[in-house]
């Protein structure tokens, strides 16, 4: 949770940040939980490298940018309180999460403890692990506020638990799970702890030491405002020797003899040789911009905007389905008789972007709460009160 002393960005600061964002004057973008709008500098960083590749060759452009590429690891480390050697680059958060998940040792009969907020892609991996490794899935219920029930989770912990896997902020519902409280339980029991921070990195202030996770996955395209096709995995140096990548290559490992290989002694063991150098450099710029603003102030501003949006939606007669004692910047709502997909299409015709969340994305939660398709309206620090008023007015007309 954000420092109580952190101040939201001022109107002038938001205006300045919006002036550096080409899309801000083009659309009312309320789909930051899907893919946010990059700044001109992030776009320029990516395009410049693509131009260098075209003019001098891909390998040569990579050599030229090697120092800047290495700096991205340090920037991401600073963002989440990690060392640069604990960061591995990936093309997306799902690939990063899967790399971490499948590296965890699991034995037949062991359990994977998770929560109702588990994301669909993660749940499919759990089901595949049931088939492939003979483990079982143990879904812990919610407390009265909708968070994972930490006391119940603690009671479920035993020697047969292979992994605790938690989605920090689910794809819908505004929930922020108590990641640090779960970390204390996992650490006390010496159980590996994997945190899906896809929707929380760049959205909330994060510190892996405070959280206590062994693995954390994140994406570039959402609240970090980075390029699509970028992501990362944090792997704690205390845990790294226990983590065996499921698909290593000769970049993440050294081929030492005809019959032997040696994994790199850092999170780089998860990496493959090929990646988008332009995208990675663009992500680094986006991370540096977030650091310059301050993640505590970003979080405070997002909460302020989300509170306003929920208040206006409820006043206009919409039902808000969000959970948690302090819901974050992802707002889910429905209107009586209003089809969410039709609303999305109609709003897009008015240059207003939202998305639709379906039960397939969070089936544990959707089944428990009997949820149907919902509008997902996600704000960022670049969102203005005028945009919120405009979007709610347009929805009310529909």
Residues 327 and 360 reside in one and the same domain: yes
Q: Answer whether residue 38 is part of any domain.
A: no
Same domain, 219 and 343: no
Same domain, 102 and 88: yes
Note the helical H segments in 81-235.
Answer: 93-103, 120-133, 150-156, 179-188, 208-211
Question: How crowded is residue 114: how many other Cβ atoms within 10 Å of its Cβ?
Answer: 25
Q: What was the pLDDT predicted at 4?
A: 60
CATH of the domain at 159: 3.40.640.10
Out of 240, 260, 292, pick the residue that ends a domain. 292
Do 237 and 282 lie in one domain? The reply is yes
User: Does residue 375 lie in a domain region?
Assistant: yes
Q: Judge if 246 and 318 occupy the same domain.
A: no
Residues with Cβ within 8 Å of residue 327, at least 6 apart in sequence: 173, 174, 175, 176, 306, 310
pLDDT at position 313, please?
Answer: 98
**Contact status, residue 324 vs residue 176, Cβ threshold 8 Å:** yes
Q: What Cα–Cα distance (Å) separates residue 236 from each residue in 63, 125, 210? A: 28, 22, 13
- Domain containing residue 179: 43-292
Cα–Cα distance measured from residue 86 to residue 235, given in angstroms and rounded to the nearest whole number: 5
Residue 2 included in any domain: no
Same domain for 341 and 213?
Answer: no
Q: What is the pLDDT of residues 143-154, one digit of tens each?
A: 999 999 999 999
- Final residue in a domain of this structure, among 292, 322, 350: 292
Co-location of 19 and 77 in the same domain: no
Q: Is residue 219, in this structure, part of any structural domain at all?
A: yes
Neighbours of 44 (CB within 10 A): 13
Of the candidates 229, 260, 292, which is a domain's last residue? 292
Q: What is the pLDDT of residue 5?
A: 80
In a domain, 6, yes or no: no
CATH number at residue 342: 3.90.1150.10
Do the domain assignments include residue 113? yes
Hey, is 17 helix, strand or coil?
helix
How deeply is 38 buried, as exposed, middle or buried, from its count of CB atoms within 10 A (0-12, 13-18, 19+)?
buried
Shared domain check, 256 and 317: no
Per-residue pLDDT reduced to its tens digit, 258-303: 999 999 999 999 999 999 999 999 999 999 999 999 999 999 999 9
215 and 316 share one domain? no
In a shared domain, residues 176 and 281: yes
Q: Are residues 60 and 161 in the same domain?
A: yes
Is 183 within a domain? yes
Residue 37 inside a domain? The answer is no
Query: Mind listing the pLDDT tens digit of every residue in the chain (398 residues)?
Result: 445 689 999 999 999 999 999 999 999 999 999 999 999 999 999 999 999 999 999 999 999 999 999 999 999 999 999 999 999 999 999 999 999 999 999 999 999 999 999 999 999 999 999 999 999 999 999 999 999 999 999 999 999 999 999 999 999 999 999 999 999 999 999 999 999 999 999 999 999 999 999 999 999 999 999 999 999 999 999 999 999 999 999 999 999 999 999 999 999 999 999 999 999 999 999 999 999 999 999 999 999 999 999 999 999 999 999 999 999 999 999 999 999 999 999 999 999 999 999 999 999 999 999 999 999 999 999 999 999 999 999 999 99
Q: Do 62 and 120 fall into the same domain?
A: yes
Q: Return the C-alpha torsion angle 65, 67, 73, 77, nearest 10.
A: -140
| Total count of domains within the chain | 2
């Amino acid at each position: 949770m954000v420092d109580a002393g952190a101040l939201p960005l001022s109107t002038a600061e938001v205006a300045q940040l919006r002036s550096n964002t080409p899309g801000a004057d083009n659309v009312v973008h309320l789909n930051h939980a899907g893919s946010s709008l990059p700044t001109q500098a992030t776009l320029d960083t990516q395009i410049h490298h693509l131009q260098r590749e075209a003019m001098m060759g891909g390998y040569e452009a990579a050599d030229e940018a090697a120092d800047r590429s290495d700096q991205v690891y340090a920037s991401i480390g600073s963002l989440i309180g990690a060392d640069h050697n604990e960061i591995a680059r990936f093309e997306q958060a799902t690939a990063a999460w899967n790399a971490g998940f499948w590296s965890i040792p699991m034995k037949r009969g062991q359990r994977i403890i998770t929560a109702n907020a588990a994301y669909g892609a993660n749940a499919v991996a759990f089901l595949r692990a049931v088939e492939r490794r003979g483990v079982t899935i143990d879904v812990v219920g919610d407390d009265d506020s909708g968070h994972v029930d930490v006391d119940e989770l603690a009671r479920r912990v035993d020697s047969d638990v292979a992994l605790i896997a938690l989605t920090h902020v689910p794809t819908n519902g505004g929930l922020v799970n108590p990641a640090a409280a779960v970390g204390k339980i996992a650490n006390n029991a010496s159980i590996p702890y994997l945190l899906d921070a896809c929707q929380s990195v760049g959205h909330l202030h994060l510190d892996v030491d405070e959280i206590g996770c062994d693995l954390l996955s994140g994406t570039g395209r959402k609240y970090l405002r980075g390029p699509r096709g970028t992501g990362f995995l944090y792997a704690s140096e205390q845990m790294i020797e226990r983590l065996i990548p499921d698909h290593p290559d000769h970049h993440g490992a050294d081929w030492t003899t005809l019959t032997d290989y040696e994994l790199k002694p850092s999170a780089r063991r998860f990496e493959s040789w090929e990646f988008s150098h332009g995208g990675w450099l663009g992500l680094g710029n986006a991370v540096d911009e977030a650091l310059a603003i301050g993640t505590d102030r970003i979080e405070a501003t997002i909460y302020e905007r989300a509170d306003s949006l929920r208040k206006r939606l409820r006043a206009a007669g919409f039902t808000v389905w969000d959970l948690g004692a302090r819901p974050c910047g992802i707002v889910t709502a429905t209107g009586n008789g209003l089809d969410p997909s039709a609303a999305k299409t109609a709003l897009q015709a008015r240059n207003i972007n939202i998305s639709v969340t379906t039960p397939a994305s969070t089936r544990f939660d959707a089944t428990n709460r009997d949820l149907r398709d919902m509008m997902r309206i996600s704000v960022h620090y670049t969102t203005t009160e005028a945009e919120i008023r405009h979007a709610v007015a347009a929805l009310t007309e529909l």
